[in-house]
Amino acid sequence: MKALIFCVPLLVYGQAATDVEQGRALFRSNCAFCHGATARGGRGPNLVSAPLTHGDSIENIEAVIREGVPGTSMPSFGSFSPEELRQVAIYLKSLSAGQRRAVHVPGDAAKGREVYAANGCAGCHRIGNEGSVFGPDLSRVGAARSVDYIRQSIIEPSADIPDEYRGVMVVTNDGHRVTGVRVNEDTFTVQLRDVSQNFRMFEKDRVKEVSEVNHSLMPAYKQLSPAQLDDLVAYLVTLRGPSAKTDHVNKARTIK
- Convert the pLDDT of each residue in 216-252 to its tens digit: 999 999 999 999 999 999 999 999 876 544 443 344 4
**Strands across the sheet containing 198-203:** 207-213, 167-172, 177-185, 189-193, 198-203, 253-255
In CATH, what number is assigned to the domain containing residue 171?
2.30.30.100
pLDDT of residue 180: 94
Is residue 167 classed as helix, strand or coil in its secondary structure? strand
Query: Do the beta carbons of residue 168 and residue 192 sit within 8 Å?
Result: yes
43 and 123, same domain (yes or no)? no
Percent over 70 (pLDDT), the chain:
84
pLDDT of residue 52: 74
pLDDT of residue 216: 94
pLDDT of residue 12: 43
Average pLDDT, the chain: 83
Contacts (Cβ under 8 Å, ≥6 apart) of 44: 31, 34, 35, 36, 73, 74, 144, 145, 146
Pair type for strands 207-213 and 198-203: unpaired
Beta bridge partners of 189: 203
154 and 167, same domain (yes or no)? no
pLDDT of residue 176: 93
DSSP 178-218: EEEEEEEE-SSEEEEE-TTSEEEEEEGGGEEEEEEE-S-SS
The residue ranking higher by pLDDT, 248 or 202, is: 202
156 and 167, same domain (yes or no)? no
Domain that holds residue 90: 2-95
In CATH, what number is assigned to the domain containing residue 62?
1.10.760.10
108 inside domain = no
Rounded to an integer, what distance in angstroms lies between the CA atom of residue 152 and that of residue 17? Answer: 36
Q: Per mean pLDDT, which of 128-142, 161-175, 219-233 is the most reliable? A: 219-233
| Domain count within the chain | 3
The residue ranking higher by pLDDT, 217 or 62, is: 217
pLDDT of residue 74: 85
57 and 145, same domain (yes or no)? no
| 2 pLDDT more than 80 | no
